[in-house]
Amino acid sequence: MTNTISHDILRVFTPFDTLNPEYLDKVTEKASVREFPKGTMVFKRGKELEEAFYLIEGHVDLIDAQFVITSVDPRSDSRRLPLSGSSPTQVSAMTKSPVKLLCVERDFLDLVMAWSESGEDPSTVSEDDNDWMSYLLQAPLFAKIPPGNIRQLFSRFTEQKVTADEVVVKEGERGELFYVVKTGSATVVDASGKILAALRPGDYFGEEALVGDTTRNATVKMLTPGKLMCLQKEDFKALLHEPVTRFITAEELRERQKDIPPYQLLDVRLAVERRFQHVPGSRNIPLGSLRRTLAELDSHMTYIVTDDAGRRSDVAAQLLNQAGFDTYILKHADQHYSGL
């Protein structure tokens, strides 16, 4: 393995050709150059890739599911891109000659791009920063957020130092901030003192009160000293909530049924509320039960939350989005939709 990587080598490839020197310096610290002999399977189709591979020297064949072969060598236009742009990869990569590859961790590459687009100075970014930003970018919710919003998010977070045993949010209080744990650990407890969850770097909290414009539904208390990254309510709604909230009407749903995967209508009201009127075919999971029910839901199903629960519908859609589900809110659910 060789670790001598110059800026000139990096600038041959995308997206490194768009980065300023200070960001390229960070890449050279983490990237590596590896040599593979002829006849080596660098990676197989269908496998999760932790690294992105770029061809520096040699000849590689990319083989898809239909056994169509695409050859890549230093003269190929596609050489500027990773040998596989997706994970799991859609192709296998076989060396047809001795090759030299530039290898970069995919998560680190995402992090560098977030730094670059947010204007963050990498010389001031510590390992703690690496952790919280990297974990945050891996959360399912953030995969749905436009890149431009990611750039603005990192520029609008502010840091707050906290001490051991400090109460960050208290059940029953109004919420004005969204929090991400940068360093340290915390617990989420209910009114009786029962621990509901443990929070570590990269975990976030406080979003439900902001989405529903309600009071905090639990208390968050620090276990250790640490640092929290805070986002104002207005920024949270504009950059994190509104961009991932999608609405659909019954008419649109009828028209698009062939385009939308199998779906389930969810009614998040209490059973007693549903008793008087509800959308036919909807499944009742009260909001208070939804969080602990998420693991039982079908990841291949699209979930459409009826809007007859008011702000609770907004909170439910946010919870589903955070868990990675394809989610809509059904508008005007107080009308009768017998065709759904």
pTM score of the predicted model: 0.56
Host domain of residue 285: 245-330
Establish if 157 belongs to a structural domain: yes
pLDDT value for 334: 59
CATH, residue 221 = 2.60.120.10
**Spans of the chain below 50 pLDDT:** 1-2, 118-120, 122-125, 127, 336-338
- Chain segment 85-135, per-residue pLDDT in tens: 787 899 999 999 999 999 998 877 776 665 555 444 544 445 455 567 777
Specify whether 96 is located in the same domain as 185: no
Return the pLDDT at 166.
Answer: 95
Count of domains observed in the chain: 3
Q: How confident is the model at residue 317, as a pLDDT?
A: 93
Q: What HEC string does the chain produce?
A: CECCCCHHHHCCCCCHHHCCHHHHHHHHHHCEEEEECCCCEEECCCCCCCEEEEEEECCEEEECCCCCEEEECCCCHHHHCCCCCCCCCCCEEEECCCEEEEEEEHHHHHHHHHHHHHCCCHHHCCHHHHHHHHHHHHCHHHHHCCHHHHHHHHHHCEEEEECCCCEEECCCCECCEEEEEEECCEEEECCCCCEEEEECCCCEECHHHHHHCCECCCEEEECCCEEEEEEEHHHHHHHHHHHHCCEECHHHHHHCCCCCCCEEEEECCCHHHHCCCCCCCCEECCHHHHHHHHHHCCCCCEEEEEHHHCHHHHHHHHHHHHCCCEEEEECCCCCCCCCC
Last residue of a domain, one of 181, 206, 241: 241
User: Does some domain include residue 81?
Assistant: yes
Q: Let me know whether 159 and 262 are in one domain.
A: no
Identify whether 121 is part of a domain.
no
Of the three residues 241, 262, 286, the one that is the final residue of a domain is 241
Does 120 map to a domain? no
Whether 24 is in a domain gets the answer yes
